[in-house]
Structure 1
Amino acid sequence: MTPDEIARSATPAERRLAGLALNPAAPEDILLRLLASESAAVRMVLCRDRALPDAVVDAVVAHPDTYTRSFLARSPHAEPEQRARLVDDPEWFVRAHLADGPVPDEDGCPARPLPDRTVVRIIETYDNELLGIGVLRQMSPGFRRGTATHPVAKVRRWFQWDTLTPRERAALLADPDPGVRKSAARHERHRDPDAVREDLPDRRCLARTTLLMYGALAPDVAAAALETDGAWAVAGNTSTPAEYVAVLAGHADPKVRIRVAERPDLAPALRRALAVDPDPGVRLALSVHPALTEAERAAIDYEVPEHEDCGHCSVPDADPDPERLRRDARSGHPCLRRRAARDPGLPADLVAELADDPDLGVRVLLSQNHPDAPATLLLRSFMEYTGSHRWHLTRRPGFPRTGLARFADDEDPAVRRLALLDPRLGPETADRLTRDPDPLVRADAARHPRLPVARLTALLDDAELAPRAAANPSLPLAAMNALVP
């Protein structure tokens, strides 16, 4: 069964126990009893959806059920060192889930990297079918940068060719391992236009698109791609001849012209032409071109999307450029300031400046990504932003908690939920909000630690709210024990 099927098939009693499995106040002996449950739904929630103490992790690693161990292998809440303990699991199913990595949490944050030694073990011992993008996502930035010179030959095969120096490429082409040499030779071959022409599939497929995007293109290959399905791919290829880049700048499809506008080597004449392109998306793409001055940007009639996806969990730049970051933060272009706001390493003086930025996207992205975003900014961003990542703002380190009870009667249910973050919320208000018309407000109220015990225990028999009540940290220990068979 898939995880969704397991969850859908759970009985009301199993869902209540699954709620108890999430209770942060549940002692180890309760968690261990839940781990021994016959319910896959309970074990799934316990092992996948919360952090676990080491004693419980010990029991999960030794658990006889393959599914149970696999839930820990893909848990975004488990420490990487805990997940790494499954690297030599006897079951292919568990190893496959470890290699694929955690399912993204509800905020879509990337997985924390596995220990370097664990990644090496996976690469050395796992079947090739398990060595995909999941392993790459779980590499630390430093490990990924050092693959080309790693002492283990199989790790060296994970080199990133486009980032290597000529000396590093030459070393890989002469590597003592035949597999490394073969892989390096394949990449080197595609720096030869004649080899690309020879290897280019004549049908639409991933291999064809990849070669058109990254291979060295002869003029006839680029010309043929323009006439078929490859215009978008060659529009961003740095080897596309200049005369064809000029043709692509006038392509009928605005997506192709956007791709051209993003080229760092775009000629001044083409920049001027695309600056007045009839498509607003093309003009916006061109307006952030690194070769433009602030005056040239300001002269372009661009429109910044108001409801840009103001996400979070940005991966810090491995090689940050402090000067560019400062230029972006003080640019007149909102998109460049948004780019700076995403950087969790933004200096304190720029954080202070962008906290009062006139652009909502800048303020929200700063709130979502910087660890020192001010509390006043976090709350303001929540009140003004209604996008899909709104609730994540409440999980930022500096988000205020006390004083939020004042929002308990707000018309917006998302704002009413804020009241349930207040540790000083009145018990009678928490009780009232368990009857709120909004299901998310009711659910949060059922988990509030100041909910009166009488109401809390009564909710254990409520079909909708029992799982939330069972997860309430104020649930008496006697009631926890009574729930577990």
Structure 2
Amino acid sequence: MNPVLRGLAANTSLPSELVDRLITVADTDTDTDIAAALAGRSDLSQAQAVELASRFEENAGRLAHEGTLTVADIDPVAQPHIALALLREGADRPEWARRLAEDPMVERRAQLAACPGLPLDVAEKLAVDTDVRVVAELALWTTPELAARLAAHPHAEVRSGVAANEATPPAVLAALITGEGLPLAQRCLVCDREETPFVHDPQCPRLDCDLRPGASCDGSHDSTILDIRQAALRNRATPAEAVVDLVDHPSTLLRWEIAARTDLPSEAYERLAADANPGVRADLASNSAIDHALIRVLASDRDHDVRRKLAHNPHVPLDVLTDLAATTKIGPTLLPRIAAASPAEIEALAASPNAVVRMLLAQRRDLPPEIRDALATDPDVKVVKSIATHPGLSEAQLRAMVDRHGARVVARVATNGDATPALLEDLSRHEPPVQKAFREVARHRHATAPALLACLADKQARPIAAGHPSLPPQVIADLLTDADWQVAEAAAANPSLPLAVMAELVPCPPRP
């Protein structure tokens, strides 16, 4: 790995001719990280994109997605990986798809199976592929008609793909859950490879083994059947009536999936609220479909995570949320219900005697100025730390926070987008030093050279400061040889790095 060249590859000021040189000198075996950085550039020319994709095929998908590769740029016979990338992005080239359906590499046929808009004859061919991985991938993405047929496939892995496909007809998804109307599966990945009964060791030491941890089969393909049901329960197209009967299923994994669904009758949610597993109840608590009566029941749940998830429910009543704030560690985050609070509710929350409630309100970034200013002078440091990043606060207000609360609020004040250059310099010299503040100052758009130089003294802030464009050019150049590779890479990616230094760093391609 060459961190300096990787940083240069991402440098937005790198001239096009140096991009050409980097693509040419990058080694296809060792410089894949440099190629990935080059592929992320927004200024690649079409010729550069083609050359990069030809040399580093793993980047073809990204380049195709960003539109820097087109169908006119490639030879699908010589560059099948690029052809696949373009097909995944919807390229209308049925002849490419037909050719790739005959490809001897299973991986390519499987990638083709995931492409949208496949010609019918190609999809039919992939549906009878000799490798089940190809058929299973097709099942995951194919049309409703073909998905319905593949639901009866003898291999359980294919049925699992059908269960996850949102284009699968609802009646078919219901059948995959109940098994009614479908022949029994004959094979699964476990019994394809192992003598049954077999349970795959989650700590399996075999390097060539790709069975899922805990996969098992006793002849009934039990773990894959469970996977099928999980996928169907997670599928939004699965009808609610097929789900309700599994509310009391012995598998916690299935009940967990059911608890997240938003289309069930209230009776099903009530049964889940009494589930013995707190994880199931916690997921139910965050479900936006549960009613206020059930929310109030869950608010008294003994499990902390259930109550914490309930606080994140967008429909939790404010009085319940206020009670939860007094008994549950929620943390400084913008809760959906507070984000949706009306002007009158905002005033009530701001006047709450509970500092945690005021802290949660202070996470909003659209508060009326009078509410914002009142919270900025709150006596509780939790509230002040939450409001400190709110836009519109003046330098005087931010300095007053630091004067009152000291090191406890310095990092949050440094995060404020309106912090002035002078304030950031003072924060970088604060005594006692605040390590997190150095990192925030180092990434701030208003940071000045003196503030950044102070940040370079902090180990964690040093790589961030090295990439800041306000750092003096000579300092940036000196950091290219830093003992910490992250610092050297950030310096190389700094757009203020002198062009002459960039040119010296990029090797010249060997002469033919």
Q: Which residue of 2 aligns with 1:402?
A: 421
Aligned partner of 1:261 among 285, 309, 314: 285
Aligned partner of 2:37 among 41, 48, 60: 48
Check whether the contact 1:17–1:42 (CA below 8 A) recurs between aligned residues: no
Determine the C-alpha separation between the residues in 2 that align with 1:446 and 1:288: 36
C-alpha offsets along residues 403-450 of structure 1, whole Å, 9 cap, x if unaligned? 3233333412332245545767357x766765x251532662476554
Cα 1:431–1:33 change in 2 (3 A) is same
Answering whether residue 208 of structure 2 is matched by residue 208 of structure 1, we say: no
Q: Which residue of 1 aligns with 2:51?
A: 63
SS in 1 for 2:21: helix
SS in 1 for 2:20: helix
SS in 1 for 2:436: helix
Q: Which residue of 2 aligns with 1:187?
A: 169
Task: Give the aligned length.
Answer: 392
Q: Which residue of 2 aligns with 1:18?
A: 6
TM-score normalised over the length of structure 1: 0.56
Answering whether residue 501 of structure 2 is matched by residue 479 of structure 1, we say: yes
Q: How much does 1:238 deviate?
A: 5.9
Check whether the contact 2:9–2:22 (CA below 8 A) recurs between aligned residues: yes
Q: Which residue of 2 aligns with 1:416?
A: 438
Q: How much does 1:299 deviate?
A: 5.1
Determine the C-alpha separation between the residues in 1 that align with 2:359 and 2:454: 43
Cα 1:184–1:58 change in 2 (3 A) is closer
Aligned partner of 2:462 among 418, 441, 460: 441
Cα 1:479–1:131 change in 2 (3 A) is same
Determine the C-alpha separation between the residues in 2 that align with 1:336 and 1:132: 53
Determine the C-alpha separation between the residues in 2 that align with 1:119 and 1:336: 50
Q: Cα RMSD between the aligned structures?
A: 5.9
Q: Which residue of 2 aligns with 1:130?
A: 111
Cα 1:304–1:48 change in 2 (3 A) is farther
Cα 1:446–1:246 change in 2 (3 A) is closer
Q: How much does 1:225 deviate?
A: 0.9
Cα 1:459–1:341 change in 2 (3 A) is closer
Q: How much does 1:69 deviate?
A: 5.7
SS in 2 for 1:63: helix
C-alpha offsets along residues 214-237 of structure 1, whole Å, 9 cap, x if unaligned? 444469943661477533334445
**Greater mean alpha carbon deviation, residues 471-480 or residues 23-32:** 471-480
Q: How much does 1:268 deviate?
A: 6.2
| Superposition map of 1:460-479 within 5 A | 460-464=480-484, 465-479=487-501
- Which amino acid is the alignment partner of residue 15 of structure 1? P
SS in 2 for 1:82: coil
TM-score normalised over the length of structure 2: 0.54
Determine the C-alpha separation between the residues in 2 that align with 1:443 and 1:184: 43
Cα 1:121–1:264 change in 2 (3 A) is same
- Which amino acid is the alignment partner of residue 110 of structure 2? E
Aligned partner of 1:28 among 16, 28, 40: 16
Determine the C-alpha separation between the residues in 2 that align with 1:310 and 1:297: 13
Determine the C-alpha separation between the residues in 1 that align with 2:322 and 2:4: 58
Determine the C-alpha separation between the residues in 2 that align with 1:352 and 1:124: 65
Check whether the contact 1:405–1:425 (CA below 8 A) recurs between aligned residues: yes
Cα 1:306–1:187 change in 2 (3 A) is same
Check whether the contact 2:74–2:82 (CA below 8 A) recurs between aligned residues: no
**Greater mean alpha carbon deviation, residues 223-232 or residues 473-482:** 223-232
Determine the C-alpha separation between the residues in 2 that align with 1:121 and 1:365: 52
Q: How much does 1:376 deviate?
A: 6.0
Q: How much does 1:189 deviate?
A: 0.7
Determine the C-alpha separation between the residues in 2 that align with 1:336 and 1:190: 50
Check whether the contact 1:261–1:271 (CA below 8 A) recurs between aligned residues: yes
- Which amino acid is the alignment partner of residue 30 of structure 1? L
Check whether the contact 1:212–1:234 (CA below 8 A) recurs between aligned residues: yes
Q: Which residue of 2 aligns with 1:232?
A: 256
Q: How much does 1:269 deviate?
A: 5.5
Q: How much does 1:63 deviate?
A: 0.5
- Which amino acid is the alignment partner of residue 178 of structure 2? V
Check whether the contact 2:428–2:454 (CA below 8 A) recurs between aligned residues: no
Check whether the contact 2:84–2:111 (CA below 8 A) recurs between aligned residues: yes
- Which amino acid is the alignment partner of residue 251 of structure 1? D
Task: Extract unaligned runs of 5+ from structure 1.
Answer: 1-9, 101-117, 137-149, 155-175, 315-320
Q: How much does 1:181 deviate?
A: 7.8
Q: How much does 1:29 deviate?
A: 1.9
C-alpha offsets along residues 186-234 of structure 1, whole Å, 9 cap, x if unaligned? 4221576897352699734321123445444469943661477533334
Cα 1:193–1:476 change in 2 (3 A) is closer
Q: Which residue of 1 aligns with 2:318?
A: 294
Q: Which residue of 1 aligns with 2:448?
A: 425
C-alpha offsets along residues 164-204 of structure 1, whole Å, 9 cap, x if unaligned? xxxxxxxxxxxx99448868994221576897352699734
Check whether the contact 1:275–1:283 (CA below 8 A) recurs between aligned residues: yes
Cα 1:288–1:362 change in 2 (3 A) is farther
Q: Which residue of 1 aligns with 2:275?
A: 251
Task: Extract unaligned runs of 5+ from structure 2.
Answer: 98-107, 122-142, 150-164, 186-219, 508-512
C-alpha offsets along residues 17-58 of structure 1, whole Å, 9 cap, x if unaligned? 33333344332222222222133566743652686464x432
- Aligned identity (percent) is 20
Q: Which residue of 2 aligns with 1:451?
A: 472
Cα 1:406–1:290 change in 2 (3 A) is closer
- Which amino acid is the alignment partner of residue 35 of structure 1? I
Determine the C-alpha separation between the residues in 1 that align with 2:358 and 2:120: 41
Check whether the contact 2:60–2:85 (CA below 8 A) recurs between aligned residues: no
Check whether the contact 2:256–2:279 (CA below 8 A) recurs between aligned residues: yes
Determine the C-alpha separation between the residues in 1 that align with 2:65 and 2:243: 52
Cα 1:266–1:178 change in 2 (3 A) is closer
Q: Which residue of 1 aligns with 2:210?
A: none
Determine the C-alpha separation between the residues in 1 that align with 2:67 and 2:145: 33
- Structure ID, larger Rg: 2
Q: Which residue of 2 aligns with 1:80?
A: 66
